[in-house]
Structure 1
Amino acid sequence: MDINAYIESGILELYVAGQLSEKENQEVYELMQQHPEILQEVLEIEAAVVKLTAAVSPHAIDFESFKGKLGNTETKVVDLKPQKPNWISYTGWAASILLAGGLLWTLNNKSELEEQLQTAETERNYLEIQIEDARENLAATKNLLNAIRDKDIISVPLGGQGDFANSYAKVYWNKADNTIYLDAEGLPNAPEGKVWQVWSLTLNPLIPTSLGTIDDFNTDDNKIFAIANANESQAFGITLEPEGGSESPTMEQLYTLGVVASTP
């Protein structure tokens, strides 16, 4: 946008005089917010109108000249015809009224502008936090991908069980650092009052060991969880348990189960 051409177009003078439509006033106001040069020009126009109004005000009367006329005793015929009003004086007062309204509108909207600037600053800070969080999440994702792509990682698919045949999950077990990475994308959100609990199992005899509950499952976006596991696991299972978890798995709520493949 050519700011100088806009200023020279005369629209700002009409804005100060209150001669624009509501839509045009709004457009000028928005440009004032965006361009300090336009705001400064409006303030200068209003200052000029104040000076002009004072110059043509009905109170700006030459009283010395009026006094001299009163002292003149020469008899003159009085013209009883109605005199034309001094439109210049009235125009000055009208301009004053318009200017006052314009100044009040500008002051009110200046406060709104300050509030909008404060809001913009808050939004900018929030955006910076989001960007930083995204960077941290990206770094964590890269670390996770590197972990599950390790050549020594053990991959254990967990298939759906019984009435939950459509459920599935996958465990990536890194024995070197006693960690499993659970990809639980195939599980539904836990109902209110329930949590998912992960189990390490030995099969002969069958001994379940809790690896803990996934309390933030419903709010986690990627559904991948790092869990400590120092057990000699032969299988992994996931059950739906009451909040806080259970000492032993509720077999009727066993959603997924997977056996660790034996190494040759």
Structure 2
Amino acid sequence: MDINAYIESGILELYVAGSLSDKENEEIYALMQKHPEILQEVLNIEAAVIKLTAATAPKNKNYILTSIKKTLNFKGNSDTKVISITKYNWITYTGWAASVVLAAGLLWTVNQNTTLQSNLEVANVKQALLETQIANSKNSLEEAQTLVSVLRDDAITKIPLAGQGNFASTYAKVYWDKKEQRIFLDAQGLPEPPEGKVYQVWSLKLSPLTPTSLGTIDDFATDTNKIFEIANANQSEAFGITLEPAGGSETPTMEFLYTLGVAAS
């Protein structure tokens, strides 16, 4: 008999786990008495199971004892009978007990890992939100610093846009930075546009009247300070704001001209 091949076959692990038939258990027990190497391997496997269980199972002896009793159908009362068993039976039950303890320990480990994973996911979400808030705060601070510098710059042209026609109560203001070819539009005096509509900003030449679109303000409702930076490379003589269908229009809809302002010559 090749002892090493028999040990490496994995049957001894099944014996310790209590997964073999009575006949197979008897055969292994006989071999254990005949071959010290097999007996030692069984003892090593049981020791490994106990060590693994000690590292993973809950530190609650009552929990482990209850699991073993339940699996072996032991009664938890004072009338439990003490039964004398042979060495063979003791080893068999030891295998079953080790299997139960290992299963209990692995179940607890799985539950702990699931809880840990859930906590990690929550922590990752919170971290992402925090990073977003920090980034937004940084961007807001940079925008605020830019606006302050624009407001204090004497080279910036300030153009008030007055309300027009049915929208006389509305107002806006343009800060034109000709050097950087941009404007800052303060649209705080405009109401929120109806659904499906957007504000469109126009650069105007007055003679002849020639409008050039500077784009639509698509994020008007979500922008808190209502100040928008817009590129403008035109030689503008005036600025106007109209209400247009979503996506904008090629030419301004004059009946929905909200504000208009002429740049100082």
Amino acid of the residue matched to residue 125 of structure 2? Answer: T
1:259 matched to 2:262? The reply is yes
In structure 2, do the counterparts of structure 1 residues 172 and 51 end up closer, same or farther at CA, with 3 Å as the change threshold? same
Amino acid of the residue matched to residue 243 of structure 1? Answer: A
Aligned partners of 1:213, 1:191: CA distance in 2, in Å? Answer: 14
Residue 41 of structure 2 corresponds to none
Amino acid of the residue matched to residue 129 of structure 1? Answer: T
Q: How do 1:210-229 residues align onto structure 2 when only pairs under 5 Å count?
A: 210-229=213-232
Amino acid of the residue matched to residue 175 of structure 2? Answer: Y
Match of 1:158 among 150, 161, 168: 161
Aligned partners of 2:65, 2:249: CA distance in 1, in Å? Answer: 84
Residue 61 of structure 1 corresponds to 82
1:149 matched to 2:152? The reply is yes
Aligned partners of 1:125, 1:244: CA distance in 2, in Å? Answer: 32
Amino acid of the residue matched to residue 259 of structure 1? Answer: V
Amino acid of the residue matched to residue 193 of structure 1? Answer: G
Deviation at 1:113, TM superposition (A): 5.8
1:167 matched to 2:170? The reply is yes
Q: Deviations over 1:214-241 (max 9, x none)?
A: 2222222222111122222221110111
Q: How do 1:211-250 residues align onto structure 2 when only pairs under 5 Å count?
A: 211-250=214-253
Secondary structure in structure 2 of the residue aligned to 1:121: helix
Q: Which runs of 5+ in 1 are unaligned?
A: 1-42, 65-103
* TM-score (normalised: structure 2): 0.58
Residues 148 and 181 in structure 1, CA contact (< 8 A), matched pair in contact too: no
Residue 127 of structure 2 corresponds to 124
Residue 9 of structure 1 corresponds to none
Amino acid of the residue matched to residue 227 of structure 1? Answer: I
Q: Which runs of 5+ in 2 are unaligned?
A: 1-57, 86-106
Aligned partners of 2:234, 2:120: CA distance in 1, in Å? Answer: 57
Aligned partners of 2:68, 2:200: CA distance in 1, in Å? Answer: 83
Residues 169 and 187 in structure 1, CA contact (< 8 A), matched pair in contact too: yes
Residue 188 of structure 2 corresponds to 185
Deviation at 1:195, TM superposition (A): 1.6
Aligned partners of 2:201, 2:68: CA distance in 1, in Å? Answer: 84
Residue 87 of structure 1 corresponds to none
Deviation at 1:257, TM superposition (A): 0.8
Deviation at 1:61, TM superposition (A): 3.0
Aligned partners of 1:258, 1:175: CA distance in 2, in Å? Answer: 17
Deviation at 1:170, TM superposition (A): 0.6
Residue 36 of structure 1 corresponds to none
* TM-score (normalised: structure 1): 0.58
Amino acid of the residue matched to residue 242 of structure 2? Answer: T
The percent identity for this pair of structures is 53
Residue 47 of structure 1 corresponds to 61
